[in-house]
Amino acid sequence: MSEKPLTIHIAAKEAGISIETIRYYQRIGLIEKPEKPLSGYRVYSEDLIARLLFIQRAKELGFSLTEISTLLALGDGNCAEIKELATHKLAIVNNKLHDLQAIANTLENLIQACEFNSSHQGCPIITAILKR
């Protein structure tokens, strides 16, 4: 046979993750373990690799592994629930955006204050944090 069997390290390469991460996903039940043949190594299907890629992309959208597990369980046939999950996630992301924006604004102001602080007496940032 010259076709490489789809063993775990090939699967890992195709999915762009490490072998250990695949095993971790198996441990937490996010993906199935392929059947272990009587002799030899477990062989990974294209479907399983698609699932791994799905997981990566869903992670990029901010979903946790637990949420991804739900997404995968719901699958293609439960659009309303999926949409609900996405909407909830969007709300959380928007909240985080709001908080981070406030932080960025404050930091910018503090950094500005430092620039105007030609007197080398104390640091406006420290002062501000002390008594905000």
Partner DNA sequence: CTTGACTCTGTACTTAGGTACAGGGTTTAT
Partner DNA sequence: ATAAACCCTGTACCTAAGTACAGAGTCAAG
Q: Is 101 in the site for DNA (CB under 7 A)?
A: no
Contacts of residue 89, Cβ cutoff 8 Å, sequence gap at least 6 = 61, 62, 63, 67
State yes or no: residue 53 binds DNA (CB under 7 A).
no
Listed ranges 1-9, 20-28, 30-38, 46-54: which one lies at the site for its own copies (CB under 8 A): 46-54
| Dihedral angle sign, alpha carbons of residues 13, 35, 46, 72 | negative
Tell me if residue 8 falls in helix, strand or coil.
Answer: helix
Q: With binding defined as CB under 7 A, does residue 121 bind DNA?
A: no
Q: Binders of DNA among 63-92, rule CB under 7 A?
A: 64-66
Q: How far apart are CA 82 and CA 67, in angstroms?
A: 10
Q: Does 43 interact with its own copies (rule: CB under 8 A)?
A: no
24 binds DNA (CB under 7 A): yes
Mask for 57-96, x = binds its own copies (CB under 8 A): xx-xxx--------x---xxxxx--xx--xx-xx--xx-x
Q: Comparing C-alpha atoms, which of 90, 11, 17 is closest to residue 55?
A: 17
125 interacts with its own copies by CB under 8 A: yes
